[in-house]
Amino acid sequence: MISVTIKPFTRICQGDVIRDLEYVEYVKEKEGICEISRVVFPHVIILTQDCDLKHDYKFRTEEKESQDKLLLSVLAAPLYNAEHVYLGEHLSELKIKSQFINKNKSPGDILRSNQNPRYHYLIFPDGIKIVPSVIDFKHYFSINTKYLELHKKNNFVCKVSELYREDISQRFASFLSRIGLPK
């Protein structure tokens, strides 16, 4: 089980868990009709380094000679219900079928012990209304910083505490920098 804090900071923090976040897939316009496609994620976790987020906030809210540290976007990854992930059904509403992971055999154990580089399994403490969940590092995406800050005001769930946050961050970096060697 991880530990979390429930006191929200005004700024976005690494490890923030935020609910109902919209990811814009595309916007297109033709002959005066605008079409916007969004995916709503029930829960996401913020992955951008905390020092970057801290400096971004500082440079946006204080008088500075430059805007050198501003971020254009923030990295996040979805949290999926672990039971849905085992079944490969976590993206079924998007018409995407994923691989079945046998919960009661080795693949399930490997996922829960965080030995599968793609996934990070989390159990939240009592009092946080989130079921056992899985971060899928392959599905990371970016969100506009200011939009996320506004959204966080009413949709903050908790912040993963530093030790567990660093574990997630290190595994995410490792996953991104993996090298696929030919067989």
| CA–CA gap between residue 175 and residue 179 (Å, rounded) | 9
| CA–CA gap between residue 134 and residue 78 (Å, rounded) | 8
- Part of the chain binding other proteins (CB under 8 A), chosen from 40-48, 56-64, 149-157, 165-173: 40-48
Helix or strand (DSSP H, E) at 23: strand 16-30
Sole binder of other proteins in the list 39, 70, 87, 128 (CB under 8 A): 39
Asked if 32 interacts with other proteins (CB under 8 A), we say: yes
SS3 per residue for 45-108: EECCCHHHHHHHHHHHHCCCCCCCCCCCEEEEEEEEEHHHHHHCCCCHHHCCCCCCCCCCCHHH
Q: How far is the CB of 17 from other proteins (least distance, A)?
A: 14
Sole binder of other proteins in the list 93, 99, 153, 179 (CB under 8 A): 93
Sole binder of other proteins in the list 13, 50, 71, 90 (CB under 8 A): 90
Sole binder of other proteins in the list 33, 72, 179, 181 (CB under 8 A): 33
| CA–CA gap between residue 110 and residue 105 (Å, rounded) | 9
Asked if 131 interacts with other proteins (CB under 8 A), we say: yes
- Part of the chain binding other proteins (CB under 8 A), chosen from 28-36, 63-71, 109-117, 118-126: 28-36
- Part of the chain binding other proteins (CB under 8 A), chosen from 54-62, 81-89, 154-162, 165-173: 81-89
Give start and end residues of each alpha helix (H) in 88-161.
106-112, 145-155
Of 32 and 182, CB closest to other proteins: 32
What type of residue sits at position 124? F
Residues at the contact surface with other proteins, assessed by CB under 8 A: 22, 25, 29-42, 78, 80-81, 84, 89-95, 131
